Amino acid sequence: MFAEGDNMFRIGQSIDIHQLVEGRDLYIGGVKIDHDKGLLGHSDADVLLHAIIESIIGALGLGDIGKHFPDTDPQYKGISSMVLLEHCYQLMDKEGYEINNLDSIIMCEAPKMAPHIQKMRENVASKLHCDISQINIKATRGEKLGFRQTRRNGSSSGCIIKEKRSIEMAKVRTRFAPSPTGYMHIGNLRTALYEYLIAKHDHGDFILRIEDTDAERTSQAYIDNIFDSLKALGLNWDEGPDVGGPYGPYTQSERFDIYPKYVQMLLDKGFAYECYCTPEELEAEKKEAAENKKPYVYTKKCLNLTDEEKAKLKAEGRKPAIRFNIAKAQKAFHETSMLTFEDMVKGELHVDTNLLGDFVIMKSNGTPTYNFAVVIDDMLMKISHVIRGEDHISNTFKQILIFEALGAEVPKFGHLGMILAPDRSKLSKRHGATAVSEFVEKGYLTDALINFVALLGWSPSDGQEIKTVDEIAQDFRINEISSSNSIFEYDKLNWMNSHYIKMLSIPELKERLKPYLTKYDLNELTDAQYTRMVEITYEPLTLLSDITDAVPYFFGQDVEFDEKAKETLDTEVSQDVLKTFMEQAQDWEWTEENLHEKLEAFRAYYKEKGVKPKVTMWAIRAAVTGRICGADMTAILAIIGKEKTFRRVKAAMKQTV
């Protein structure tokens, strides 16, 4: 262990040896190698990866490979060591370290390793989430050490890992960049939340950027809703339209003077060209492709226009759009037409860029397209991590090429699966609320909503689901997010919200419940009475809005009787109970303590007459509240008061048959 500047470094080393036997496949460095023998072991026995894993675990001071992946555990039987290496990375990441450099030696007589080493490096780099330049693998014949073909194969590895503290954490910058064409929905919230958590986990910056280039569908009401929703949820941004920052403006429509410079840069480098095609001509191309049952790809007919041809088209009144030259960019930065990137959620993703087609980056009216503007904004705002829905994957490939063509650093991308309804269909209004503001209006606590949404694809390392946003941020790892779709379980959200309601103090509850009690005159109650009403009614609440239907009998002179109350009151026993209650209660002291004592005696009196205590109380409750279930009856009577109680009991006696 040693320090350099603000960084702490750790060194680890290891040697792994496995016997070569017949009847086993040979895996080294995650590559299946054609050979008549394979390595003997509980897993796939990949000596190279085992040595690497052991060196990392050793550098962390966390024992050895057998401690974390014991050969007695059936779950590791035959497992790929690539999986174990990914687990090792997660362990290293959780401890706050990353690979600085790794150097490994494969010791074997045969087969030859040289043809496979590059692929091994790629495999290791992908699982350790580092650049391939940080991984060195070499091979040597081990005859002097006895590593003969018929006997065994070995590997040695040494690594240096560094603490991610200063360099990495300082540059973490995430952004939530919604298009204000609708109210902020649950999918938006999860994206914003995960971006926020990534930033806060590494003490980075969370930026709010409004992408309002779709002028026809953009509304100020939607913009306001985004701001209000994020503020209500406590997801405060470090930079944004309202708070400013060093890379503003943070509203895309206010940045239109920025984009032409970078369009020209791409034109000058040959990574973009003018396109004079009319909408009618493009539509004809699409129609022809459809008729031939082929996917539409722009024909590039404007790619090699001469200056004379351009002048002629301009004379016709045509204004050019600007298209990105995908083939040239791909050829400039990649060996083949295949473009690959490591998604933080989905893993390795790739596409044949021949299928993408040259896309428009600037419309003929001078408006930048999404795929271009978002790259320029992310580049200039120094965004390091981008989280969004999987529907953006196709856009990501295009954006990576633009980043590369501009010589800019490509952010890390992560794409989230869909949020589905309990019936596995697309979440929509028919399943319930979808807009964040709707959930808040219904009485979902923002803490509960945040907690629940965080779990839509992510699980806490300690298994504890109830966590504050700060606790979630401390535990959150983007690489631990499931790549699968998530199910929006309303029942679970309701349970969680009920839990959070119970965690509120009574003074907090009193204030939180007032917006849902506007149909009642709270001036009818003293503060002490209101406090007591909240104390006896809040526990069953699932939503704050449930209080509206839980307390109507505390207000007004009279009550409405539900069907069960009417059935209860329409009996001789209930009428007798009410008659006797009116006679005995005249002299009662109307305090909660005394009422409790008197009602206990009253129940006992009727129990001696063969009436069950609950039947006795059903009669009084039905008369006073209009229902047979509810809060503590003693407290209800004390809050309502003697006069109102007697008025309602008399009314109940009159209205029965």
- Determine whether 269 is an active site residue: no
Within 61-116, residue ranges assigned H as helices are: 65-68, 81-94
Token pair 């030696």 is at which residue? 105
Q: Are 381 and 206 in contact (CB under 8 A)?
A: no
Tokens of residue 200, six digits:
């806060």
C-alpha–C-alpha distance, residues 563 and 653, integer Å: 16
φ, ψ dihedrals at 475, nearest 5°: -95, -15
CA quadruple 364, 365, 369, 372: dihedral sign: positive
N-to-C CA span, the chain:
89
Q: Are 384 and 295 in contact (CB under 8 A)?
A: no
Amino acid at residue number 98: E
Amino acid at residue number 334: H
Q: Are 610 and 565 in contact (CB under 8 A)?
A: no
C-alpha–C-alpha distance, residues 491 and 497, integer Å: 10
User: Which residues contact residue 312 at a Cβ distance below 8 angstroms, ignoring those fewer than 6 apart?
Assistant: none
Active-site residue identified among 312, 426, 429, 612:
429
Tokens of residue 47, six digits:
């000596």
C-alpha–C-alpha distance, residues 400 and 394, integer Å: 10
C-alpha–C-alpha distance, residues 311 and 315, integer Å: 6
User: Which residues contact residue 390 at a Cβ distance below 8 angstroms, ignoring those fewer than 6 apart?
Assistant: 346, 415, 416, 417, 418
C-alpha–C-alpha distance, residues 292 and 609, integer Å: 90
C-alpha–C-alpha distance, residues 204 and 221, integer Å: 30
Q: In three state form, how does the secondary structure of 335-395 look?
A: CCCEEEEEECCCEEEEEEHHHCCCCEEECCCCCECHHHHHHHHHHHCCCCEEEEEHHHHHH
For the chain, the C-alpha Rg in angstroms (whole number) is 35
Amino acid at residue number 617: M
Exposure on the CB side of residue 8, measured as CA atoms within 13 A: 9
φ, ψ dihedrals at 347, nearest 5°: 85, -155
| Strand, coil or helix: 105 | strand
Q: Which of 207, 213, 211, 173 is nearest to 192 (CA)?
A: 207
C-alpha–C-alpha distance, residues 568 and 612, integer Å: 13
- Which residues carry out catalysis? 429
